[in-house]
Amino acid sequence: QVQLQESGPGLVKPSETLSLTCTVSGGSISSYYWSWIRQPAGKGLEWIGRIYTSGSTNYNPSLKSRVTMSVDTSKNQFSLKLSSVTAADTAVYYCARGDVLLAPWGQGTLVTVSS
Amino acid sequence: QSVLTQPPSASGTPGQRVTISCSGSSSNIGSNYVYWYQQLPGTAPKLLIYRNNQRPSGVPDRFSGSKSGTSASLAISGLRSEDEADYHCAAWDDSLSAFYVFGTGTKVSVL
């Protein structure tokens, strides 16, 4: 079955850009929406945005000015970039297949913003 | 930024029925499907209910979802210890800046 795995630096300095990649295995990345979600410690889930394999994107209005998503179908990967990070961006970041029906999810990766 | 409101906690004893509410507005729950996700301690969320009341393969029929107007509910009947988890509702929001919104989350405890 399809599995997702997030990867990227676990520590990012304030004002820098957070970059994460989600690798899809067990199935093709093509013809699906792919989403990013984050969860600060002890808090609820926040939708960051979604990308279709054509490259079409939708972002959370509260993050839109800082978010860029991309997809690489040749590598079966999609990526997230979040610029100008602050401590408020510290969270577990999840990738998931889908636009509104999110399944499956990756296991999540903790990103800490600190100098 | 959550625009879907859930009670922070709910609890019950084994075998009881527990219901979790999710309150939204006409731009989200009122005009779109509701989804529910279960997040066991220390793990990633998992799809529990889709399109208001549909269960993915493998989800026990003890879990049921419903929607009425701008609110939705998740019911867990025959509560079991393994149901102790956080539950999150979600829906697409058709406001000026369309986006997917999650609820505030509910922690279910089995006493």
pLDDT, residue A101, reads: 96
What are the backbone dihedrals phi and psi of residue B81, each rounded to the nearest 5 degrees, phi first? -60, -35
Residues of A in contact with B105 (CB under 8 A): 43-45
- Closest by CA to B53, choosing from B67, B68, B70, is B67
Best residue of A22, A35, A47 to probe chain B, by most B CBs closer than 10 Å: A47
Q: In the numeric block, which tokens belong to residue B52?
A: 């208001």
Contact with chain B for residue A44, Cβ under 8 A = yes
HEC profile for A89-108?
HCEEEEEEECCCCCCCECCC
Q: What's the pLDDT tens digit per position in A17-69?
A: 999 999 999 999 999 999 999 999 999 999 999 999 999 999 999 999 999 99
* Whole-number Cα distances in Å, B85 to A61, B8, B39: 29, 12, 6
- For residue B6, what pLDDT band results from cuts at 50, 70 and 90? very high
Q: How far apart are CA B79 and CA B20, in angstroms?
A: 13
Answer whether B55's CB lies under 8 Å from B104's CB. Answer: no
The C-alpha angle A99, A28, B48, rounded to 5 degrees, equals 40
- Nearest CB to A101: which of B50, B98, B104? B50
Chain A's closest residue to B34, CA to CA, is A100
Q: Could you report how far apart the first and last alpha carbons of chain B are, in Å?
A: 31
Strand partners, A105: A96
Q: What is the pLDDT of residues B21-34, one digit of tens each?
A: 999 999 999 999 99
Check CB contact under 8 Å for A44 and B105.
yes
Per-residue pLDDT at B3: 82
The predicted model gives A106-111 an average pLDDT of: 98
State the DSSP string of B16-84.
--EEEEEE--TTTTTTS-EEEEEE-TTS--EEEEBTTTBPPTT--TTEEEEEETTEEEEEE-S--GGG-
Q: How far apart are CA B14 and CA A52, in angstroms?
A: 43
Specify the residue for token string 């013809």. Answer: A31
Instruction: Measure in Å the smallest separation between the Cα of A94 and chain B Cα atoms.
Output: 8
